[in-house]
Amino acid sequence: MGKVKDEQLFSLLRNFLLIYLPNQRHASSNTVKAYRTAWNQLLKYIAGQKKIPMMSVTFGMIRYEMVVAYLDWLSEEKGVGPATRNNRLAAIRAFITYASACRPEYISLSSELAAIKIQKKERFREVDYMSEAAVKALFAAPDTRTKMGLRDQFLMIFLYDTGARIQEALDVKICDLRIDKTPTVTLHGKGGKIRVVPLMKDTVQHLDNYMGAFHKGESAFSTEWLFYVERKGSRSAMCDDTARLRIQKYAELARETCPDVPERVHPHLWRHTRAMHLYQHGMDLTMISQWLGHKQVETTLIYAYADTEAKRKAIEKAMGAGLADAESVNYTVSDEDKE
């Protein structure tokens, strides 16, 4: 590792992440992690643009133009939505505000970044989701004769069945599971919110196989992580990067037999996919909203909109270009008359 060129930048960043956020702001571990991710990504981006090692990035390189270019790169190259872009910007601003409070010479930089506009969210954005055929192909991709294949298959099944965010799934401990007449799992969501989600019969059968391989003889009250990695005899919770890499690996395998499998399959795609399938099979949006842990039903309307858009595109494809020149009409999405 090279020598740090701007010790003040990295010293302030360290104090911001390790002391200020958790101890003074009492930010959650997920918030700290999100801020760390944002800054790690920004520093890597600047280093790439300047063609220098990340440790050579200085405060002087963090300017309005560079941050805007980074945010545009997120939107255009990484394909993130307005919410993620805005969260990254908030993380950048928060640290610079902290730095300017510690060192007045950075107040002008804080003012510069305050001029960057928040990207407006579309009322209904496009939702990516997988077909049921793609889901089956992905479930079949791991070699379940191996322990790792068994674990990876169950992780995907668990994400799909529960609709959990990836961190919610990786935070599950054995004591969060209740396997009785109505099997459930307790998920610990954003802002410390808790919700109980039912587990389907097939998922419980896969869970039994998984527990036999990874938690044999473990007490139902155990605080062991459900999904873990083991190194040198020590267990720790699986990290989301590991989950992303494993899932993407199976996406590439599954696409060889099922062209429906998207090129990029990330953990959150399972959540969108499950919600969309439930909606398409007639589940009420209010119930889906509660199941997903959304604060407002309004958030869940994206699935109704996406389903309507998919139907519209299918009709256009079936009808050909004959209606291409016809006058466009506005339509509204409604859930009142589902069959």
Residue 172 lies in a domain: yes
Q: Are strands 234-237 and 228-231 parallel, antiparallel or unpaired?
A: antiparallel
Structure tokens given for 92? 């950048």
pLDDT of 126 over the 70 cut = no
Segments forming the whole domain that contains residue 237: 132-300
**Tens digits of residue pLDDT in 278-332:** 888 888 777 877 778 776 655 566 666 555 555 555 545 555 544 444 443 343 3
Report, as an integer, the average pLDDT of 124-130.
Answer: 69
Residue 305 lies in a domain: no
pLDDT at res. 196: 92
Task: Compute the residue count for the chain.
Answer: 339
Q: Which whole-number Å values give the CA distances from 31 to 25, 156, 163, 239, 244, in the listed order?
A: 11, 25, 21, 15, 19
Indicate whether 148 and 287 sit together in one domain.
yes
Residue 320 lies in a domain: no
Indicate whether 162 and 95 sit together in one domain.
no
- Tell me which residue has tokens 């939107």: 75
Indicate whether 155 and 194 sit together in one domain.
yes
Indicate whether 87 and 171 sit together in one domain.
no
Residue 293 lies in a domain: yes
pLDDT at res. 286: 78
Indicate whether 290 and 154 sit together in one domain.
yes
Which among 213, 207, 226 has a CA at the least distance from the CA of 169? 226
Indicate whether 234 and 166 sit together in one domain.
yes
Query: What pairs with residue 222 in β-bridges?
Result: none
**Tens digits of residue pLDDT in 212-246:** 999 999 999 999 999 999 888 889 999 888 898 99
- Domain limit, last residue, from 50, 81, 114: 114
What is the rounded distance in angstroms from the CA atom of residue 138 to the CA atom of residue 135? 5
CB 120 within 8 A of CB 82: yes
Q: How many independent structural domains does the chain possess?
A: 2
Indicate whether 277 and 140 sit together in one domain.
yes
Indicate whether 136 and 103 sit together in one domain.
no
Structure tokens given for 339? 């069959």
Report the amino acid identity of residue 143. Answer: D
Indicate whether 72 and 136 sit together in one domain.
no
Choice among 180-184, 186-190, 266-270, 314-318 with the minimum mean pLDDT: 314-318
140 by Cβ neighbours in 10 Å (0-12 / 13-18 / 19+) ranks as middle
Indicate whether 259 and 138 sit together in one domain.
yes
Indicate whether 294 and 180 sit together in one domain.
yes
Count of CA atoms in the C-beta half-sphere (13 A) of 1: 4
Residue 139 lies in a domain: yes
CATH value at residue 169: 1.10.443.10
pLDDT of 16 over the 80 cut = yes
Count of CA atoms in the C-beta half-sphere (13 A) of 166: 17
The sign of the CA dihedral 268, 272, 277, 282 is positive
What is the rounded distance in angstroms from the CA atom of residue 303 to the CA atom of residue 124? 9
Count of CA atoms in the C-beta half-sphere (13 A) of 117: 4
Residue 338 lies in a domain: no
What is the rounded distance in angstroms from the CA atom of residue 219 to the CA atom of residue 125? 44
Residue 183 lies in a domain: yes
pLDDT at res. 270: 93
Residue 228 lies in a domain: yes
Structure tokens given for 88? 């990254």
Indicate whether 146 and 101 sit together in one domain.
no
